[in-house]
Amino acid sequence: MNSDDNPISNDPFALVDPQLWLITSAFQNHRSGLIATFVTKASIVPDCPRFVIGLARQHETCRLIKESGSCVLHLFSREQTHWVERFGVPSGSQTDKFQSTSTQTIKTGAPVLSDAICAFDCQVEQSWETGDRILFLLQVVGVKMLNPGTPLRFTQMWNTASTELRQTLSVLLVRDQQIDRQAILKWREEAE
Ligand SMILES: Cc1cc2nc3c(=O)[nH]c(=O)nc-3n(C[C@H](O)[C@H](O)[C@H](O)COP(=O)(O)O)c2cc1C
């Protein structure tokens, strides 16, 4: 295991080591969740907490958030690296990623994984199309501390992932980059 294998290690952006988030949503008896790094706290006002997230348009979870107008942002721990394989690899359009997982709800009804460190229950206040991603401005309407733990970051996940998982993630990264590049270029053309 070697951090030189990191597919973005020669990239200055790799100096940023983001936390990994699990984002879940549900609409009409269907639920899904994905792993995301594009999550930013977007308000300094304690009584008006907000986040901005950026999700690829083709993901099932993105579709569910658009339909339902709500989602839950979770931080999870270094001991839960297996959630990356479970939620960050397959698409929830075909499978239920929550099988045998204890869930609850807070306010919006979006699924909360009880084993996470904490959960932010959110409602969409605004959204913007940017070609590859939809940016959602989220109002936090409920918060729950669930379990103690240190949130997992990308580098820790990468350095402890199996060779198979790292290979899978590298292949998916290239696939998603191609999809996103085309979507960005098309969006720019249409904006001109
Ligand atoms: C480390 C990591 C970070 C990711 N970050 C994002 C992200 O910020 N935004 C996004 O749309 N997808 C991101 N993904 C991809 C989704 O988690 C992945 O494609 C997921 O399987 C989509 O599931 P769904 O189709 O059920 O929503 C990331 C995946 C990994 C492994």
Pocket of ligand 1 contains residue 169 by CB under 6 Å: yes
pLDDT at 174: 97
In a domain, 110, yes or no: yes
In a domain, 95, yes or no: yes
Query: How far apart (Å, rounded) are the C-alpha atoms in residues 153 and 73?
Result: 15
Pocket of ligand 1 contains residue 167 by CB under 6 Å: no
In a domain, 3, yes or no: no
In a domain, 69, yes or no: yes
Pocket of ligand 1 contains residue 84 by CB under 6 Å: yes
In a domain, 2, yes or no: no
In a domain, 31, yes or no: yes
CB-based burial, 55-68: b 16+ in 10 Å, e otherwise = bbbebbbbbbbbeb
In a domain, 28, yes or no: yes
Q: Which two tokens stand for residue 123?
A: 């409602």
Query: How far apart (Å, rounded) are the C-alpha atoms in residues 74 and 144?
Result: 10
Mutational pocket test of ligand 1: of 6, 34, 93, the residue with most ligand atoms within 8 Å of the beta carbon? 34
pLDDT digits (tens, 9 = 90+) for 73-123: 999 999 999 999 999 999 999 889 998 899 999 999 999 999 999 999 999
Residue 28's CATH number: 2.30.110.10
Count of domains observed in the chain: 1
How many Å lie between the centroid of ligand 1 and the Cα of residue 36? 5
In a domain, 118, yes or no: yes
Range of the domain at 129: 9-191
Residues 6 or more apart whose CB falls under 8 angstroms from that of 4 comprise none
With H, G, I as helix, E, B as strand and everything else as coil, classify residue 179. Answer: helix
- Would the pTM count as exceeding 0.85? yes
How many Å lie between the centroid of ligand 1 and the Cα of residue 110? 18
